Structure 1
């Protein structure tokens, strides 16, 4: 299997995983609040990744340059803590069908931030995709409650 095929397979599996997450969160948030749900999911994630990463890459982790850590600490705060917390609250309050597409606008923000901070210029077709995202968000938020 080629790297591209394997990458596509992993991306699709990630999409299934990410698509399952808000449904599971919505079910769980019937019984506990968002911070508690966040703590449970973070601890279970930590246990699983530690069981995988330490045996496979423990030596590599000890050799990481110190200047890398602040970036990953910031990533951990923004993505795994703040992002997941806001995700859970959004799903709890707005429901999976409304919150998940809005949460899925993250590529739009990634594209903008990549341009600002690392001068990454996407190809023109990506701008078309970004406009599609904005249009989809407009449709979602413009729906009137019944």
Structure 2
């Protein structure tokens, strides 16, 4: 979905893009929430966790991620965001009381290093300003906070469709209201028709990934799910090698990064078996 985010930059800013993605995702999410509804899913505490996760993730974290892609490009924003497993591991250990063990910690580090090797340095050579780095790392921090809250929420109210619906509503409302106080160039604008196509596709793909992520959190530990989710750049590399071999060259750092991701994923997956 990062390719659609990058393309949407021509039509609207990051805040607008996130809002559009949340809006188009709501109808199917609400249908799924109603379809899977059970009286036991009414858990105000769980809903509160989901709402807070929506503010941290789909709102602040996703805006920071989209904006960092706009500022630095996919090649630099993605590896910085790939540090998220480290923050999630810290949250899982010290907040949720999970015990990942040495293998999962080593696998997490390998995955992070591998993702950086895979996605870094793909033809963008402009210098990176300090505030750009803070925005990109901020997305990783807020996403990690959101993941921890999602884990708490799905543990109390185990309906992923309901959870992501609450997250989307809370995040969208927070983003629209707070967005009115941002500088004029960053305020949300939903009137650009061309922005709706690219950001809608990107938003739907992103929402699908979050939904699958919630199912993962429901059945697995935070310190297992997050590192496995961070292997996304590996799949991007494979698709590039298949469909874009004439446009992009597979370098040694990318190959070594791939090996690191595979080994790290094996360590984490081995703990889950």
Task: Give the structure-1-normalised TM-score.
Answer: 0.78
Q: What is the alpha-carbon distance in structure 2 between the residues aligned to residue 59 and residue 144 of structure 1?
A: 42
2:225 paired with 1:99:
yes
Deviation at 1:54, TM superposition (A): 9.5
Q: What is the alpha-carbon distance in structure 1 between the residues aligned to residue 235 and residue 205 of structure 2?
A: 13
Say whether the 8 Å CA contact 2:180–2:188 is kept in structure 1. no
The alpha-carbon distance between structure 1 residues 19 and 144, as it changes in their structure 2 partners (threshold 3 A), is closer
Q: What is the alpha-carbon distance in structure 2 between the residues aligned to residue 112 and residue 49 of structure 1?
A: 35
Q: When you count helix as a share of all residues, which structure comes out higher?
A: 1
The alpha-carbon distance between structure 1 residues 13 and 31, as it changes in their structure 2 partners (threshold 3 A), is same
2:258 paired with 1:130:
yes
* 1:22 alignment partner, one of 147, 152, 175: 147
Runs (5+) with no aligned partner, structure 2:
1-126
Runs (5+) with no aligned partner, structure 1:
none
Which stretch of structure 1 is more off in the superposition, 104-113 or 34-43? 104-113
2:200 paired with 1:73:
yes
The alpha-carbon distance between structure 1 residues 120 and 41, as it changes in their structure 2 partners (threshold 3 A), is farther
Task: Give the structure-2-normalised TM-score.
Answer: 0.45
Runs of 4+ in 1 over 6 A off after TM superposition: none
Q: How many residues end up aligned between the 2 structures?
A: 141
- List per-residue Cα deviations over 1:19-59 (Å, max 9, x = no partner): 22221111111221211110010111111232317973568
The alpha-carbon distance between structure 1 residues 139 and 76, as it changes in their structure 2 partners (threshold 3 A), is same
Q: What is the alpha-carbon distance in structure 2 between the residues aligned to residue 49 and residue 120 of structure 1?
A: 36
**Structure of higher RCO (CA pairs closer than 8 Å, 6+ residues apart):** 2
Q: What is the alpha-carbon distance in structure 1 between the residues aligned to residue 188 and residue 134 of structure 2?
A: 28
The alpha-carbon distance between structure 1 residues 114 and 20, as it changes in their structure 2 partners (threshold 3 A), is farther
Deviation at 1:75, TM superposition (A): 0.9
* 1:47 alignment partner, one of 173, 181, 190: 173
Say whether the 8 Å CA contact 2:154–2:160 is kept in structure 1. yes
Tell me the C-alpha RMSD between the 2 structures.
Answer: 2.9
